[in-house]
Amino acid sequence: GENVEQHPSTLSVQEGDSAVIKCTYSDSASNYFPWYKQELGKGPQLIIDIRSNVGEKKDQRIAVTLNKTAKHFSLHITETQPEDSAVYFCAASKNNQGGKLIFGQGTELSVKP
Amino acid sequence: GAVVSQHPSRVICKSGTSVKIECRSLDFQATTMFWYRQFPKQSLMLMATSNEGSKATYEQGVEKDKFLINHASLTLSTLTVTSAHPEDSSFYICSARADRALNNSPLHFGNGTRLTVT
């Protein structure tokens, strides 16, 4: 089955700096890669996603890149703010399994003011 | 936007009792819903895929007789933890995607249920 590896497990940056989180996946058939932000005691909230027919996607301070050949994708957050502090999860899915998501291990991001 | 509502948000029960958790899609129909489990500071682990009108599909290692799933309508799936024990204490989260959406489209999550078994 699919296996998603996420690094780093923790990341601390100064406010205004950039943060990068990386994920690799094992199943070349995976074609959908969302990123979720989870705050303490809450469910994950989708922040950005990318499909396999696209190499990069950007939404204001957040961007995601995908390298299908290497089977890895990354989340980039620029101009970080304290409210960006949370746990971020990458995930992968493919069409033929009903779209179920397999998650990475998570990255705890801390943005220091 | 698509909203998934989960109830209760917190529940404390005694060992040996059963607990039912509800997951509702509020503004869309969802033939398929997914149940995840999350231990503190860990990732979300898929437990089962809930299918309206048919049996749920459980992931390897998940006891189907312990975690009963009922998906009786296109907007409601329930997870019942039977004969709960302290090791079942966890954060349970459901998710759903609108039927009209493609499989490679966003999956929306509820806010989770914190189960504590004493």
Condensed to tens digits (0 to 9), the pLDDT of residues B17-41 reads: 999 999 999 988 988 899 999 999 8
Task: Indicate yes or no: CB of A32 within 8 angstroms of CB of B103.
Answer: yes
Length of chain B: 118
A104 within 8 A of A48, measured Cβ to Cβ: no
Question: Do the bridges between strand A107-112 and strand A10-14 make them parallel or antiparallel, or are there none, so unpaired?
Answer: parallel
What average pLDDT does this structure show over B99-114?
Answer: 84
**A95 closest CB neighbour out of B43, B97, B103:** B103
Task: Indicate yes or no: CB of B97 within 8 angstroms of CB of A99.
Answer: yes
Chain A residue closest in CA terms to B60:
A1
Q: Which of A80, A66, A71, A76 is nearest to A20 (CA)?
A: A76
* pLDDT recorded at residue B99: 76
pLDDT in tens, A49-69: 999 888 999 999 999 999 999
Q: Give contacts of B32 with chain A, Cβ < 8 Å.
A: 98-99
Report how far residue B7's alpha carbon sits from residue A103's, in angstroms, rounded to the nearest whole number: 23
Please give the DSSP secondary-structure letter assigned to residue B31.
Answer: S
Q: Which of A21, A101, A108, A110 to mutate to test the interface with B (most CBs of B within 10 A)?
A: A101
Rounded to the nearest angstrom, the minimum Cα separation between A61 and chain B is: 20
Q: Give contacts of A105 with chain B, Cβ < 8 Å.
A: 42-43
